[in-house]
Structure 1
Amino acid sequence: MDGIGGTVGTAAAMFAGTNVDDIIVLTVLFLSARAGGALRPGQIWAGQYAGIAVLVAVSVIAALGLTIVPDDYVGLLGLVPFALGVRSLVSALRAHSSGQDASPAVATGLVSVAGVTIANGADNVSVYTPVFRTIGTGSTLVTIAVFAVGVALWCAAGSWLGSHKKVIEVVERYGQWIVPAVFMGIGALIVIESGVLGELF
């Protein structure tokens, strides 16, 4: 890479390219926080940072030649958002059958937000690892700093998207069904695209 400018540009492109789907997840999380669930915006920010930090740490460790989770089974992490979606759907069905309003919350705290971030970005490790293996310590630190800025921008974008009046109105009306469906869909997609089902069966 040509100097710090090249490193910053490459890191920014890599972060954006591997985390586009996180915008959807963050928007849903911020919407669910605004709908009055147990989740708070600060927990979403902290959980997103914690999740990305874990993904970066795993990538750095893998770049040093150590494997924490075999690549063939990383897709099983998709079960995390899928399970959160199922749990939220069950809560919505119970509330609906008893005539109560259900919160569309899927994640309920920092740990569950971090879990969703890790599961949704598990495939990022395969992109980050070879980069960290080849760019050296200084460029790795710059890349991690760019990722930290990227997380802030992503959270701000998710919060902004989740503050639109029309979006909020839709979520207030149908959120108890939309939110779990989104998370179940994301989880299923992670599992299917990883090919882990072929490894297991």
Structure 2
Amino acid sequence: MLASILQAIGLFLATNIDDIIVLSLFYARGAGLPGTTRKILIGQYLGFGAILLAAVLVSLGARSFLPAGALPYFGLIPLLLGLYAAWTAWRNGDEDEDEDEKLTGKEISALTVAAITFANGGDNIGVYVPVFASVSTTALVAYCIVFLALVPVLVLAAKFVATRQAIAEVLERWEHILFPIVLIGLGVFILVEGGAFGL
């Protein structure tokens, strides 16, 4: 059991470390607004829970639940959200922000965090399925418990990164540009890496 727990920790860290960057941008976006951490945590749990559920179902034999060919198209989610964020930033412009909005962030949604988490973790399903299919039911349960227990650790790590003074200043100044760029880049990467649309 201890071996399964340690393997689960390693697998979680290896497949989710990139989420710290995306979640840090969500923290920068919602800076100063009440409930930001709660929304990010709920969104991360929803998105990662969907990834975990899909991986478990596929590993247990429900292969038709989520065809492998569908995974690359999840890249459309961050791509479209990134394009919308870029359009909003361009439409509003920096000069239109009043002083109150500079002191506080923009409202974020747990569902947006969930959608980005799920899209970003589509490749995780492909990693988790063979692992889950090759372990006992007890080990599979241990993996799921460890993964779900580490979600708040990931969220807190992102908060820690986003609240470091030097990083926070950069994120505060450039968030309106970085957020859409990261989402668009993430979407394009998922689409191209998975061969969506014959790319």
Q: Say yes or no: TM over 0.5.
A: yes
Deviations 1:17-73 (A, max 9, x none): 11121111111111111165x972201001101111111111111012112222122
Q: 2:38 aligned with 1:42, yes or no? A: yes
SS in 2 for 1:123: helix
Residue deviations 1:160-189 (CA, integer Å, cap 9, x gap): 001012222222222211111111111111
User: Which 5+ residue runs of structure 1 have no aligned equivalent?
Assistant: none
Q: Does the CA-based 8 Å contact 1:35-1:172 persist in structure 2?
A: no
- Is 1:166 equivalent to 2:166 in the alignment? yes
How far apart are 1:77 and its partner, in Å? Answer: 0.5
For 1:26, the aligned partner's letter is L
Q: Percent identity?
A: 29
Q: Secondary structure at the match of 1:49?
A: helix
Tell me if the contact between 2:162 and 2:171 (Cα under 8 Å) persists in the aligned partners.
no
Match of 1:151, SS state, is helix
- Say whether residues 1:52 and 2:48 are aligned partners: yes
TM-score, normalization by structure 2: 0.89
Say which SS state the counterpart of residue 108 (structure 1) adopts. Answer: coil
Residues in 2 aligned to 1:56 and 1:188: alpha-carbon distance in whole angstroms: 23
Q: TM-score, normalised by structure 1?
A: 0.89
2:20 maps to: 23
Which runs of 5 or more structure 2 residues have no equivalent in the other structure?
A: none
Two-structure CA RMSD over aligned residues (Å):
2.0
Amino acid at match of 1:30: Y
The letter for the 2-side match of 1:34 is A
Aligned partners of 2:54 and 2:66 also within 8 Å: no
